[in-house]
C-alpha cells in the first residue's frame, strides 16, 4: 500500500473506533450538567452544601449510588462540579 492509501485507511479505522467509543459514552447516565457519569468520579448534589463532593460508587438506569450513602440518587440531582451544582440550585 502506498503512504497516502495507508493514511486514509488508518483515518477511516480511527473514525470507526471513535464512533464505537462515542456510542458507549452516549449510553452512560449524565449529570444535570450533561457530563457522563462513571464509578469513581466526584459529583455534587444540587442544593446540598457538600464542600468536597461525593464519589460515585455505581451507576444504573435507575439512578446513582454514592459512597457511604444508602439512597439512590437521580442523575438530574447531581452535577459534575460544585459551581454547576450551585448554579443549578439557584435556578430551582
Q: Are 72 and 29 in contact (CB under 8 A)?
A: no
25 alpha-carbon distance from chain centroid: 8
Give mean pLDDT, residues 73-82.
89
When the pLDDT of each residue in the chain is averaged and rounded to a whole number, the result is 87
Q: What number does CATH give the domain 29-91?
A: 2.30.30
Q: Are 44 and 79 in contact (CB under 8 A)?
A: yes
Q: Residue 6 has which C-alpha cell?
A: 495507508
Q: Residue 83 has which C-alpha cell?
A: 459551581
pLDDT digit string, tens, across residues 3-26: 788 999 999 999 999 999 999 999
Q: Are 79 and 32 in contact (CB under 8 A)?
A: yes
pLDDT at 62 over 90: no
Q: pTM for this structure?
A: 0.74
Q: So where are the chain's domains?
A: 29-91
| Between 3 and 72, residue with greater pLDDT | 72
pLDDT more than 90, % of the chain: 36
| Between 61 and 87, residue with greater pLDDT | 87
pLDDT at 51 over 60: no
Amino acid at each position: 500500500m502506498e503512504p497516502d492509501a495507508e493514511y486514509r485507511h488508518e483515518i477511516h479505522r480511527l473514525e470507526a473506533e471513535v464512533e464505537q467509543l462515542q456510542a458507549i459514552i452516549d449510553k452512560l447516565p449524565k449529570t444535570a450538567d450533561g457530563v457522563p457519569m462513571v464509578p469513581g468520579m466526584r459529583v455534587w448534589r444540587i442544593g446540598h452544601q457538600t464542600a468536597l463532593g461525593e464519589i460515585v460508587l455505581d451507576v444504573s438506569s435507575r439512578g446513582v449510588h454514592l459512597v457511604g450513602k444508602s439512597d439512590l440518587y437521580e442523575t438530574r440531582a447531581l452535577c459534575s462540579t460544585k459551581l454547576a451544582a450551585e448554579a443549578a440550585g439557584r435556578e430551582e
